[in-house]
């Protein structure tokens, strides 16, 4: 028995060697990012994103109400300008062209598109998620 103890060392040394081998295998396993790990991480990200969307969709704070009012005002101004330009065009094409130039120069169209996407788009996604 003394020969095996001298060959292998104390039980503490054997445990240390076994732990070192295990940690080395863990490092080798962590060196590669597999497709399964990518899919699992993508799934976690999507779950977190959906949780955030659910939390903000049901939000009824003063900030949320203010955002809604601003979104409706921006979209209302944009739609009013477009409808006004269409209505005036029949009577005075120069005035309709001026209104169109105002829409383009003030870039209210981009603002309306961004507001429509972020405000009304999230509402549409929330409606689809409930179905």
Domain ranges of the chain: 61-130
Over 50: is that where the pLDDT of 1 sits?
Answer: no
Which of the residue ranges 5-14, 18-27, 109-118 would you say has the lowest mean pLDDT? Answer: 5-14
pLDDT in tens, 86-106: 899 888 889 888 888 888 888
Query: Which residue would you say has higher pLDDT here, 72 or 5?
Result: 72
The pLDDT value given to residue 14: 57
Residue 112, class by beta-carbon neighbours within 10 Å (0-12 exposed, 13-18 middle, 19+ buried)? buried
In the structure, what pLDDT confidence band is assigned to residue 24 with cuts at 50, 70 and 90?
A: low
Q: Is the pTM of this model over 0.85?
A: no
For the stretch 115-124, what's the b/e string if a residue is b when 16 or more beta carbons lie within 10 angstroms of its beta carbon?
beeebeeeee
C-alpha distance from residue 62 to each of 67, 109, 114, 120 (Å): 9, 27, 21, 18
Cα dihedral 40, 41, 46, 47 sign: positive
Cα–Cα distance measured from residue 31 to residue 23, given in angstroms and rounded to the nearest whole number: 12
Residues with Cβ within 8 Å of residue 70, at least 6 apart in sequence:
115
Query: Which residue would you say has higher pLDDT here, 5 or 78?
Result: 78
pLDDT in tens, 52-71: 777 766 666 677 778 788 88
């Amino acid at each position: 028995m003394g020969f095996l103890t001298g060959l292998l060392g104390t039980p503490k040394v054997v445990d240390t060697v076994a732990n070192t081998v295990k940690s080395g295998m863990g490092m080798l396993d962590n060196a590669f990012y597999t497709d399964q790990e990518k899919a699992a991480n993508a799934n976690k990200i999507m779950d977190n994103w959906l949780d955030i969307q659910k939390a903000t969709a049901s939000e009824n704070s003063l900030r949320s109400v203010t955002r809604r009012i601003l979104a409706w005002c921006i979209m209302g101004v944009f739609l009013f300008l477009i409808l006004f330009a269409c209505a005036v065009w029949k009577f005075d094409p120069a005035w309709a062209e001026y209104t169109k130039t105002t829409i383009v120069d003030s870039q209210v169209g981009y603002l309306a598109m961004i507001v429509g996407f972020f405000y009304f788009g999230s509402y549409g996604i929330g409606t689809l998620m409930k179905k």
